[in-house]
Structure 1
Amino acid sequence: MQKRGLTEVGVCRAPVKITFTLLLAGSMCGLSGELAAETEEGVFGNLRVGFIHAEDDAGDETDGSAIGGKLGYVSPSWKGLSAGATFYTTGELFDDENGDFFSSENGSYSILGEAYLQGELANTQLRIGRFELDTPHADTDDIRMVPNTFQGLLLSNSDLPATTLYLTHLEKWAGVDADIPESFNEMNGDDGVTAVGAVYEGVEQLAVQGWYYHGSDFAKLLYLEALYESDDFSVGLQFGSQTDDSSDESRPDGDVWGITGSYTLSDLTLIAAFNDVSGTVTNGFGGGPYFTSADDHTIDGVEDQQAVALGIEYAGVEALKVGVLHVDFDEGANETDYYGVYEFNDRLAMELIYTDMHEDGDFVRLMTNYGF
């Protein structure tokens, strides 16, 4: 089961964010479920400090601490043409025994994670190069110091009313979920992954999306999702169908469906979700879209998995949210997450989370983010 987690706190500057799955745990910027706006021109970035203490199922303990962040620039548009680049870095503070913040060799690293050219004509936009991207099965999964970024192209069009169509081909990636986070390496060998998607928001408070991914000799992934949100409650449905496209039948092959809902009464929010898998499914390239994903464990890669998530969040103290999420997995270890998020202002926030993975161990993570 692969990890997933929370996006950055502070000011969100996501250049392409086209997911709106209802996430269960946490309150950091980017978890509202709304489509993020295009990045404004100029300089942007964040400064991030993280600490982690982990104990595995054998009782061995490791610590890690890092300082880093990103610095980016988006040029003004000239006749529909613009460019952008973002530099990411993470460096050891006191400990590097725990490698969650670091390179494949447990060291500090820096990377030019974004470097792209963009063209716009009427309602059509084309981006080529390296960029952040958030779709159901390819996403930034910004859970530590440096997020996932991708190399390829992204074409979008919004000619149809309340609808945006997407076509993307991704060749390489780097970042937190990649085998070698510190450098861009091939996705799915030489073939890469191609995806088409559509997002519809023509009904008030309702968002619907559908995606199809194809990776030759990997898998074909279909994903459908609908999410309705009001001031007091929300409800979401999801369905995925994945077909093994490999010669040795070693890739994901199965179906998954899920339902989630939340209800807010005064300062208290109750959350519930359910996923059922027939066969096996994958998160893809990132944290995955599943409603029952906890901070670390998901339904990824476990045959005929079922998961039930129950959570509660309290926001009765100004600028502070605290909560607990428990996910019961039919196969494998359960997980309980206890978290608190304090927003000092629009730019500075701190998150503390204790993740109890039961027989798989536990860890404590403290992240502070200043965005600009």
Structure 2
Amino acid sequence: MLFLHIILLPARVIAQEHGQEANLPDTSSVKNVQELFTKGELHGHVRNYFMATLNHRSLSDHYANALGAEIGVRTASFHGFRLGISGIFTYNLFSSHLDQKDPIAGKYPSNEGELFDIENPHNKDNLDRLESAYLEYRTEKLHVRIGRFDFTSPLINPQDTRMKPYSVQGVMAQVPVGQHTKLTAAWLDHFSPRGVIEWGNTRHTIGLYSNGVNIDGSPSGYRHHIESRGVAVAGLQGQGIQNSQWQAWNYWIENIANTSYGRVVMPISDRMKVGLEGLYQFQLGNGGHPAHDSTYFPDQQEWVAGGMVGYSTPQWALSANYLHTGGNGRFTFPREWGREQFFATLSRGRLEGTGQSDILVVKSTRNWAPGLSSELALAKAWLPGYGNAALNKYGAVSYWGTLLDVTYTPLLPALKGVVLRLLYIGKLSPNTSLPLERMYYNTNFQQINFVSQLNF
């Protein structure tokens, strides 16, 4: 098993791991290597993703259609040990000119580009990526995984909402602590962000999407210059009094920053619940590099606080969600490692990179019929001015946001495994003084996404 893990780890195969692990029986009667696979499990999906964005005025509009598939294998369990390997391939069936920068903004189309390879916009078919290759050991009291795998937490997570999710490499262990609590500990030193086909260490992945600006407004140049060996993650998740759900996480990015996050959700009646969350972070070492223009995390203490009030029935769920970033700087965490999962989180609406900002989001979900559900959300974000570099890393601007997300899973036996999703996103900043070139995929745009997927 160890030999197989070593030779398969660097291999380039086609597939992507997603979803929940199947609880395969411990097949200690396996007699040879072949039976590890014949008694194991094949999983994956085929996905078609169409995206189109209508940008503001004379800014260029774009569209793209990606087709891809995931193939993965998990062997049978042999005395608690199991090998998993998966990967994904993607093809650009058709698209607008994603390899051409907008003549006004001087940037490539970011959202459609993330369906393929943002490091090489000309690449349309060489888009395969090793997604996972790991050896794990699992019992009732211990779960250990080493290699390449997906990792789920509030700040580092797969977020499989394009063709490729965020993936990590390292070692992870989970153990139960008491009857209702689970401890997770991990060391992660390599990452493969969404929208790329290669793996890289901390130095090469932080800043891949955008470096933004320093607190004095000068361009940041920390990518490829960061000095950090990786991130240590520790998390506790559990159930408290009155069926409350809570979690606490700490992310220690060596030589860069320490970030602590916690949340609790408490039912107050059969139909109502409330939630609170908070985050605090501070600099470690020199923030990534001693030089000012190559420092990722400046010398600051930053905090985030949020809340939620929700009401639900068997068919409806309604919630009001609020988030505030405070402190004396900007909430900063590598967006190449996942997407922050706050109560007020919405697609295409990160608050990472801002300070002294607020967002209020009202969400409504409805189960219309078996297999058919929808979510409608309205957001209002108050952000520092785009010229306030000390509080606005990426030049974001205050906006109104709308989201409509419809998911349909056909119940016909002949269509088992098919999932259809329609996602509409709109961002509007009326009367903004933001220059036109800075609006490109930032605000004043509408976007439609249609995803059809077959799971197997």
User: What pairs with 1:89-238 in structure 2 (closer than 5 Å)?
Assistant: 89-95=89-95, 97=98, 98-104=112-118, 105-106=120-121, 107-108=124-125, 109-120=127-138, 123-176=141-194, 181-188=196-203, 190-201=228-239, 203=241, 205-228=243-266, 232-238=271-277
The match for 2:373 among 321, 329, 337 is: 321
Asked if 1:243 is matched to 2:282, the reply is yes
- Contact 2:228–2:256 (8 Å) recurs in 1: no
Which of the pair is proportionally richer in strand? 1
The match for 1:277 among 317, 320, 325 is: 325
- CA separation of 1:269 and 1:39: change in aligned 2, threshold 3 A: farther
Asked if 1:14 is matched to 2:24, the reply is no
- Contact 2:228–2:255 (8 Å) recurs in 1: no
Letter in 2 for 1:310: V
CA distance in 2, matches of 1:274, 1:207: 19
Structure 2 counterpart SS, 1:239: strand
Counterpart position of 2:308: 260
**Structure 1: 5+ residue stretches without partners:** 1-10, 16-36
CA distance in 2, matches of 1:296, 1:90: 22
Of 295-304 and 157-166, the range deviating more from structure 2: 157-166
CA distance in 1, matches of 2:345, 2:89: 27
TM-score, reference length from structure 2: 0.69
CA distance in 1, matches of 2:24, 2:454: 17
Letter in 2 for 1:258: G
Compute the displacement of 1:355 (Å).
0.7
- CA separation of 1:164 and 1:39: change in aligned 2, threshold 3 A: farther
- CA separation of 1:95 and 1:39: change in aligned 2, threshold 3 A: farther
- Contact 2:73–2:84 (8 Å) recurs in 1: yes
Counterpart position of 2:393: none
Structure 1 counterpart SS, 2:198: coil
Compute the displacement of 1:160 (Å).
2.5
CA distance in 2, matches of 1:39, 1:166: 22
Counterpart position of 2:62: 62
CA distance in 2, matches of 1:38, 1:187: 33
Letter in 1 for 2:87: F
Of 333-342 and 227-236, the range deviating more from structure 2: 227-236
Counterpart position of 1:30: none
- Contact 2:166–2:194 (8 Å) recurs in 1: yes
Compute the displacement of 1:321 (Å).
1.9
- Contact 1:141–1:287 (8 Å) recurs in 2: yes
Counterpart position of 2:353: 301
Letter in 2 for 1:280: R
CA distance in 2, matches of 1:134, 1:257: 21
Compute the displacement of 1:56 (Å).
2.9
CA distance in 2, matches of 1:220, 1:185: 21
- Contact 1:169–1:194 (8 Å) recurs in 2: yes
- CA separation of 1:250 and 1:128: change in aligned 2, threshold 3 A: closer
TM-score, reference length from structure 1: 0.84
Compute the displacement of 1:99 (Å).
1.1
- Contact 1:193–1:213 (8 Å) recurs in 2: yes
Compute the displacement of 1:127 (Å).
0.6
Compute the displacement of 1:318 (Å).
3.9
Counterpart position of 2:87: 87
CA distance in 2, matches of 1:237, 1:128: 33
Compute the displacement of 1:354 (Å).
1.3
Letter in 2 for 1:52: M
Compute the displacement of 1:191 (Å).
0.8
- CA separation of 1:64 and 1:334: change in aligned 2, threshold 3 A: same
CA distance in 1, matches of 2:83, 2:41: 11
**Structure 2: 5+ residue stretches without partners:** 1-16, 26-39, 99-111, 204-226, 384-396, 430-442
Q: Deviations for 1:133-190, whole angstroms, at most 9, x for unmatched residues? A: 111111001111111111000011115322111110111111316xxx1011112555
Compute the displacement of 1:312 (Å).
2.1
- CA separation of 1:131 and 1:250: change in aligned 2, threshold 3 A: closer
CA distance in 2, matches of 1:122, 1:322: 37
- CA separation of 1:202 and 1:219: change in aligned 2, threshold 3 A: same
Letter in 1 for 2:176: S
- CA separation of 1:39 and 1:358: change in aligned 2, threshold 3 A: farther
Letter in 1 for 2:189: E
Q: Deviations for 1:246-280, whole angstroms, at most 9, x for unmatched residues? A: 14464274101111132124633222100011042
Structure 2 counterpart SS, 1:357: strand
Letter in 2 for 1:173: F
Of 135-144 and 101-110, the range deviating more from structure 2: 101-110
CA distance in 2, matches of 1:254, 1:204: 32
The match for 1:347 among 417, 421, 437 is: 417
Counterpart position of 1:368: 452
